[in-house]
Chain A
Amino acid sequence: MRLHEYQSKEIFTEHHIPIPLGRLAATPEEAKLIAEELHGPVVLKAQVLVGGRGRAGGIRLVHSPDQAEEEAAKILGQRIRGVPVRRLLVEEAVNIQQEIYFGMTVDRARGETLVIASAEGGVNIEQVAQVSPEKIARVGVDPLLGLREFQARVLAAEIEIPRTLWRAFVAIALNLYAAYQDLDATLAEINPLVLSAEGRLVALDGKIIIDDNALFRHPTFFDKRDLSAEAPEEIEARKFGLSYVKMDGDIGCLVNGAGLAMATMDIIQSKGGAPANFLDIGGGANAEKVTAALRILLADPQVRAVLINIFGGITRCDEVAHGIRAALEEIETDLPFVIRLVGTNEAEGQRILADAKLETAATLSEAAHMAIRRAQAQEAPV
């Protein structure tokens, strides 16, 4: 679960990490009021969970409360990459002398938490990492010891933070690590961590991602999940224990197991087709789950044919076949279906599908081939 900037900053404050003065506004009038309180120039920042909001006009510097009201009205009305802006963070403008990157995440290749810092933070940090990896300082964290002061000092020295600020940097580093641990985060990031003209370190922007598997330990975050900022079909999928990712092709895929789902998409692509989505229905495939999956899949107007690929292991093919039939009785669709069922109780499953006059394929490549042909035969959607 990804937190909004303002939520991340609330956590920073709880952990004594300095942030700019400011508050959340839901209306232009509130933005004006906050700007009056703060005196001087303020920055308006759209609170959306998509990247590139600065380039999309979601961040603006204004010089008076009236201008704050005017600009806030514009930002609050707009959509950033399809997501409506409902709230703004109104903050004092900081005199930026240097933008530092500081963050931590789980490095699966090394099997540990990696803490990363760079003197060249800001929006281009990924580019810096690619073009000049030597500008990224990193230390691995022993899970039993946690991040230690000396490690934070190593980072401070390596990215050439002035010695007078080492103590402040070490405190921020250890406090962010504490927040990362307490919240079961898989990512905690301050970018940029600004060195201000007044010689202070301030967290200008922050991003925290909490491990969904650990949310049971943080029940208060369930209420903080901002559903308006997520794709509705992905919310619906999560409700039924499905995992769905939309793509650009025209062949809807419904598969059990993530690896097999990806392999199915690969075969479609290698034969010249284009998958419309990734959809893993997981273990077990009762009628309710299959129905929910098909409903999500068919809501995508780009889909022109559906390929169902089920390898019945623990899941029994006859159960899946019943599930597909029940789903198709409930959902009205004219789209062509190609179904491949293999594994436990395969023959019985095939018979159920044949009775329902559904097209089946014996092998995966045959299924992919048929689905591509069926999709091509369909009229392009209006």
Chain B
Amino acid sequence: MSILVNGETRLVVQGITGHEGSFHADAMLRYGTNIVAGVTPGKGGEWVLDGKVPVFDSVASAVEMTGADTSIIFVPARFAADAILEAADAGLDLIVCITEGIPVKEMLTVRYVIERHKACLLGPNTPGILSPPFTKVGIIPGGITCAGNVGVVSRSGTLTYEVVHALKLAGIGTSTCVGIGGDPIIGADFVEILSHFEGDSNTESVVLIGEIGGRDEERAADFIAEEMTKPVVGLIAGLAAPHDTRMGHAGAIIAGGVGTAAEKVAALEAAGVRMARSPEEVPGLVRGR
């Protein structure tokens, strides 16, 4: 099994007729994901991806007609907050927002509303979620990992690819690989995903990939110490990063001296997490349990 997505997932793609949306919807379909609908306001009634997927004008109508339970969002940043709210309003359980660059103020409101709907939001600015061998809801390249028993949760994109690829080369597969997103304000945090992995019978150990900024890794360390029975291997990026500097995506901000890489490493180590110093060390530490 896996967490959050599996063979039963019925996916609706918001922004399916856009450049990104259509490209990745095609890739997800080829991977084996069950895409039941697309949404583009004003293009309801069309069929896309060689006539395999119907397009609707709204998420609500897509849900009504197809029983979709999960959404993935590829709409441009200025419309993406609204797209998340529309998905939550339509009652979807899981919403994955790939879009990057949503104004942080909008996300404060979105997060507040998401909590009220009890929906799970991954992202924004996430590569999505992948449960090999058949279910991909996102843009993680399917070929870089295979089915297995390691759960992976990360704030990064390509750094995650690097780690799961290193695991695959060492003959280790993943149960589910989850990107929670690199923005300052996101939906699900490490703790929420860790608790899913703790309860998943197919996940034997977990790899947590964090980076400088925020306090999410510190909260994860508390949760691991108190609640988790499964072994966790960690990797934190940003030890060599200068303090107080914006590093590419908004996620990498050190606010007021908290959230340095060294503090995060220390907190996770104190919680019994074995820390890798580079992606290449992760497979050995996962094996070493």
Give the interface of A toward B (CB within 8 A): 105-109, 111-113, 126, 129-130, 142-144, 181, 184, 186, 211, 213-214, 216-217, 243, 245, 247, 255-263, 265-270, 275, 278, 280, 282, 311, 313-314, 342-344, 363-365
- Roughly how many angstroms separate A342 CA and B242 CA in the complex, as a whole number? 27
A–B Cβ pairs within 8 angstroms, 15 of them:
A106-B185, A109-B215, A126-B256, A143-B105, A143-B109, A213-B104, A214-B106, A216-B78, A245-B246, A258-B156, A258-B211, A262-B238, A265-B241, A278-B247, A313-B140
Task: Tally the A-B contacts, defined by beta carbons under 8 Å.
Answer: 169
| Interface status of B248 (Cβ within 8 A of chain A) | yes
The size of the chain B interface, using a CB distance under 8 A, is 64
Contact A311/B161 with A211-B104, A245-B242, A265-B241 known, Cβ cut-off 8 Å? yes
Contact present for A259 and B279 (CB under 8 Å): no
Query: Which residues of chain B are near A267, meaning CB under 8 Å?
Result: 277-278
Residues of A contacting B215 with CB < 8 Å? 108-109
Give the residue name and chain of the B residue nearest to A273 (CB). Answer: B240
Determine the main DSSP class of B at the interface with A: loop
Given contacts A108-B255, A113-B108, A213-B77, contact A364 B158 (CB under 8 A): no
A202 to B159, CA, bound (A): 48
B184 contacts the other chain (Cβ, under 8 Å)?
yes
Residues of B within 8 A of A (CB): 77-78, 101-106, 108-109, 111-112, 127, 139-141, 143-144, 154-162, 165, 182, 184-185, 209, 211-216, 235, 237-242, 245-253, 255-259, 261, 277-280
Closest-CB distance, A308 to chain B (whole angstroms)? 13
In this complex, which of A108, A111, A112, A186 has the most chain B Cβ atoms within 10 angstroms of its Cβ? Answer: A108
Is the pair A266, B247 in contact by a Cβ cutoff of 8 Å?
no
| Partner among B161, B216, B278 whose Cβ is within 8 Å of the Cβ of A364 | B278
Q: How far is the CA of A184 from the CA of B165 in the complex (A)?
A: 39
For A256, A313, A365, the residue with the greatest tally of chain B CB atoms inside 10 Å of its CB is A313
Are A262 and B237 closer than 8 Å at their CB atoms? yes
Contact B185 A243 (CB under 8 A): no
Contact indicator B278/A266 (Cβ below 8 Å): yes
- The docked-state distance in angstroms from the alpha carbon of A269 to that of B143 is 31
> When chains A and B are docked, how far (Å) is the Cα of A270 from the Cα of B144?
26
> For the complex, what is the distance from the CA of A300 to the CA of B155, rounded to whole Å?
30
Rounded to whole Å, the gap between the CB of B235 and the closest CB of chain A is: 8
Pick the 4 closest A-B CB pairs, nearest first: A259-B156, A257-B158, A258-B248, A259-B159
* Chain B residues near A126 (CB-CB < 8 A): 256
Residues of B within 8 A of A181 (CB): 105
C-alpha spacing A107/B111, complex, angstroms: 13
Q: Tell whether A247 pairs with B242 under 8 Å between CB atoms, given A108-B255, A263-B237.
A: yes
**A343 partner, pick from B102, B161, B241, B249, beta carbons under 8 A:** B161
Cβ contact within 8 Å between A262 and B211: yes
Contacts of B212 in A (CB 8 A): 262
CB–CB B240/A363 < 8 A? no
In angstroms, Cα B72 to Cα A309, docked, is 29
Closest to A180 in B: B105
Specify which of A143, A186, A259, A364 lies most central, judged by the most chain B CB atoms within 10 Å of its CB.
A259
Within 8 Å CB of B155, what residues of A? 259
